[in-house]
Amino acid sequence: MHQEAAIRPPLILGHRTYGDVTADVTAPIENKAPRAWYVLTTIASIIAIYGVGCILYLISKGIGAWGLNKTINWAWDITNFVWWVGIGHAGTLISAVLLLFRQKWRMAVNRSAEAMTIFAVMMAAVFPMIHMGRIWLAYFVFPLPNQFGSLWVNFNSALLWDVFAISTYFSVSVVYWYIGLIPDFATLRDHVKKKWQKTLYFWLSFGWTGNAKAWQRFEEVSLVLAGLATPLVFSVHSVVSMDFATSLVPGWHSTIYPPYFVAGAIFSGFAMVQTLLGIMRKTMKLEAYVTRKHVEYMNIVIMVTGGIVAVAYATEFFMGWYSGVEYEYYTYMSVGAATGQYAWAFWALIICNILIPGTLWFKKVRTSFFWSWAISIVINVGMWFERFDIIVLCLHRDYMPSGWTMFYPSWVDVGTFVGTIGIFFTFYLFFARYFPVLAFNELKTILKSSGESYKGEVLPKSQH
């Protein structure tokens, strides 16, 4: 029996023309920003200013202002570092891998994801630099020409691996993001009326003409950079995981860490993209371009990577029990178990990363804008607790009982972390105000294949 395939839901809603796409995406840049943008930017800026104050206080007093102690000498700062790197991880993956696989739904999410990567990696870089104790000597970690006598970087240090991995990832991500913006800057250059905007976009567009040769080169360079960025996506968090896995600390010394960290990073990164797009969709009035289908596709990736993370958790506990090593057993079954001193952190991890995201298996939940947005925030809370558990639970009880003590963060710990969230959102909101938050020239390429006017049917209003 022959059965026809159902028509896929459109990725661009409403009867949009090419001109409408340009007008909708450039409206917040050309005209006054929506009121919601001003409200959100004010809130984010206040938090950012408080965070900068905490960072300046911390630098002036030294890292003794943190809640670190003799046993737990990583704690809050490295928890936050790994969390921010994880969030920055998915942006380039979304854009690069989906470009290589020619996925049309990437057009609405790639720009936000790429910008998220850049700002998240900037926030991540703050913490190791502060942790050095003398932030003004942070450049010592780079292999610069030797001007300081016999001072060289330590190539055995895991910190140096991070410097190379993250600086490479950051530079490739910036180039990839910027090249994707060039055609849109050229459109803005020809569109805007204010003189300062014309001048700004004239310089940013690098003389883009939009002829066939320019587009051919644009596509070739995008594919090359996507091919270069994809292995970097996997290498960066693998390198970060080796900071832990190559040590002999019970709970860290594990070969599962690289794939486990990569899956966790994609899990949290996609969740942050959901959070940002949920805000941008309403604030910038882009409901026609970020549809239920986009949200569902991203939730499917979150479900897959969340499943990998859940299996990794189970594997860790199984090996803690099965290995017969009493230190591993004690770390997982006493300190890290449901009844240990940090049971609250353990259960926060299980609830936020396994139980609540598990509701995405229900189609009604994963196609709901509100629940997808709410669950994305819960996931990132859970992924922060994952990093906290890995670091604090494993260091909390070392081989010397005389050094055993609980970890309590100080107000500077909390203020620095919350402040980086404020700085991140401030950067992102200013990006959304002055740069096109959707790749509208690329969106036009799928208008005839995925626009509602061209799909042969108009969806019922309930599916919009």
16-30, 141-155, 177-191: least confidently modelled range? 141-155
Q: How far apart are CA 77 and CA 243, in angstroms?
A: 14
Contact 406, 373 (CB under 8 A): no
Q: Is the pLDDT of residue 186 over 70?
A: yes
Sorting pLDDT into bands at 50, 70 and 90, what band is 43?
very high
Per-residue pLDDT tens over the stretch 287-304: 777 888 888 888 998 999
- The number of CA neighbours under 13 Å toward the Cβ of 67 is 15
Please tell me the distance from the alpha carbon of residue 63 to that of residue 57, in angstroms, as a whole number. Answer: 10
Q: What is the mean pLDDT of residues 87-95?
A: 80
CATH topology of domain 18-141+155-457: Formate dehydrogenase/DMSO reductase fold (1.20.1630)
> pLDDT grade, residue 125 (50/70/90)?
confident
The per-residue pLDDT for 46 is 94
Cα separations (Å) of 60 from 51, 57, 131, 235, 415? 14, 5, 13, 35, 15
pLDDT in tens, 128-183: 888 887 888 787 777 776 666 566 677 777 778 888 888 888 888 888 888 888 88
458 Cβ partners below 8 Å, 6+ apart?
A: 452
Over residues 300-353, the pLDDT tens digits come to: 989 998 999 899 888 888 888 888 888 877 777 776 566 677 888 888 888 999
Two tokens at 9?
């839901």
231 token code pair: 């292995």
Q: From CA 419, how far away is CA 203, in angstroms rounded? A: 32
Cα 392–Cα 398–Cα 400 angle in degrees, nearest 5: 145
* Cβ partners under 8 Å of residue 21, min gap 6: 12, 289, 440, 443, 444, 447
Given pLDDT bands bounded at 50, 70 and 90, which one contains residue 4?
Answer: very low
Res 370 pLDDT > 50: yes
pLDDT tens-place string over residues 414-450: 999 999 999 999 999 988 888 888 877 777 777 766 6
Average pLDDT, the chain: 82
pLDDT at 457: 47
Q: Under a CB-based contact definition with an 8 Å cutoff, are residues 398 and 71 in contact?
A: yes
In whole angstroms, what is the distance from residue 53 CA to residue 215 CA? 46
Cβ contact 38:105 at 8 Å: no
Q: Environment class of residue 147 by beta-carbon count within 10 Å: exposed (0-12), middle (13-18) or buried (19+)?
A: exposed
Q: Give the model's confidence band at 460: pLDDT under 50 very low, under 70 low, under 90 confident, else very high.
A: very low
Instruction: Report the alpha-carbon distance of residue 77 to residue 63 in Å, rounded.
Output: 10
Domain locations in the chain as residue ranges: 18-141+155-457
**Is residue 245 within 8 Å of residue 239, measured between CB atoms?**
no
Q: 361-369 long-range CB contacts below 8 Å, 24 or more apart?
A: 361/303, 366/295, 366/296, 366/299, 366/300, 366/303, 367/292, 367/295, 367/296, 367/299, 368/295, 369/278, 369/281, 369/292, 369/295
DSSP string, 240-302: HHHHHHTS-STTT--TTHHHHHHHHHHHHHHHHHHHHHHHHHHHTT-TTTS-HHHHHHHHHHH
Q: Supply the pLDDT for residue 462.
A: 44
Higher pLDDT: 3 or 130? It is: 130
pLDDT tens digits, one per residue of 47-71: 999 999 999 998 888 888 888 887 8
Beta strands (DSSP E) in 67-193 are none
Q: DSSP secondary-structure letter at 32?
A: P
Q: What is the pLDDT of residues 198-228, one digit of tens each?
A: 788 888 888 888 788 888 888 888 888 888 8
**Distance between CA atoms of residues 251 and 315, nearest Å:** 12
Among 116, 15, 440, 97, residue whose Cα is nearest residue 297? 97
Q: What is the pLDDT at residue 450?
A: 67
Mean pLDDT of 392-419: 84
Handedness of CA 91, 92, 98, 99 (dihedral sign): positive
